[in-house]
Amino acid sequence: MHKVVISSALLTMLAASPIAAQAPNSPSCPVDHDRLADVLKKSVKPSGGPSNGGLDNNEWAAVVNREGIVCAVAFSGNKADDQWPGSRAIAAEKANTANAFSLANKAIATANLYAQAQPGGYLFGAGLGSPPNPATLYAGQASDHGSAQDPFVGKALGGFIVFGGGLALYDGNGVAGGLGVSGDSACADHNVAWRVRRSLGLDKVPAGVSPNMKDAIIYDVGPDGKSTSGFGHPTCDGREDQIAVDLGAGVNLNAVR
């Protein structure tokens, strides 16, 4: 009887673990929590990293695997409410979006979806096409947010976001998943995500829709709100676009006209 009790407890623990929550043949996670948190902190100004041109806030980051299962959620501050609480879910939804719309031969960042998701564009309404799963969105305890035991981990959240901050992850063999960053302007989020992906070594992007054949943010939305390329994103209020160009994370087509 004593052995049965021990076995039952072990099974209960395994069933609740993030690993067990994934299907047996689910792709492995490209990044764990500690690595994501470390790189994120080094990529934003409040924790000693560089400026990204926006508000220079602390940020949330999330990673999903190729099946859209959340692998890790982290924040750059000392505690969870050092970042906008609402940005935790947005980061995970950005990761899901970039993974969902990228292929082995071509990457699409969430920033590349902005222009055509506006009224009159062929992706209008895309942001409502895959609403986040409420059971995942509101699961668990707030005290675990951003930790290795974040309630999102091991689950599919879903959600589509059509502004900057989400990038697909490429390990040289194809798409390994997606990364989402949120907590500042959308333009700054894109810059932070670019830095994080590069530091993780998951930036082996084969091609994309931007002129540099990557998934860079394209600043070509004119005063009329139209994008010349069809994949453009508006500038924000700070130096984000200049920093993006310096990083190779952005192309400012308006600046060269």
Task: Report, in angstroms and rounded to the nearest whole number, the Rg of the chain calculated over CA atoms.
Answer: 18
As a whole number of angstroms, the distance between CA 72 and CA 66 comes to: 13
Q: Contact, 189 vs 165, CB < 8 A? A: yes
Query: What is the pLDDT, as a whole number, of residue 12?
Result: 38
As a whole number of angstroms, the distance between CA 135 and CA 155 comes to: 10
Kindly report the CA angle at 217 between 188 and 172, in degrees rounded to 5? 105
As a whole number of angstroms, the distance between CA 189 and CA 181 comes to: 6
Superfamily (CATH H level) for 28-256: Haem-degrading domain (3.30.450.150)
Query: What is the pLDDT, as a whole number, of residue 216?
Result: 98
Q: Contact, 238 vs 54, CB < 8 A? A: yes
Closest CA to 167 of 57, 249, 58: 249
Tokens of 177: 């998943």
Query: What is the pLDDT, as a whole number, of residue 129?
Result: 82
- In degrees to the nearest 10, what's the CA dihedral of 60, 66, 70, 75? -20
Q: Contact, 212 vs 130, CB < 8 A? A: no
Spatial neighbors of 51 by CB under 8 A, at least 6 apart, are 45, 239, 243
Query: What is the pLDDT, as a whole number, of residue 19?
Result: 39
Query: What is the pLDDT, as a whole number, of residue 97?
Result: 98
Where are the extended beta strands (E) located within 34-146? 60-65, 70-75
Supply the pTM of this predicted model: 0.89
Per-residue pLDDT of the chain (257 residues; tens, 9 = 90+): 444 333 334 333 333 444 334 445 567 999 999 999 999 999 999 999 999 999 999 999 999 999 999 999 999 999 999 999 999 999 999 999 999 999 999 999 999 999 999 998 888 888 788 899 999 999 999 999 999 999 999 999 999 999 999 999 999 999 999 999 999 999 999 999 999 999 999 999 999 999 888 999 999 999 999 999 999 999 999 999 999 999 999 999 875 44
Alpha-carbon distances, residue 25 vs 169, 178, 198, 202 (angstroms) = 19, 18, 28, 22
Helix (H) or strand (E) holding 93: helix 87-100
Alpha-carbon distances, residue 89 vs 51, 166, 180, 183 (angstroms) = 23, 12, 10, 10
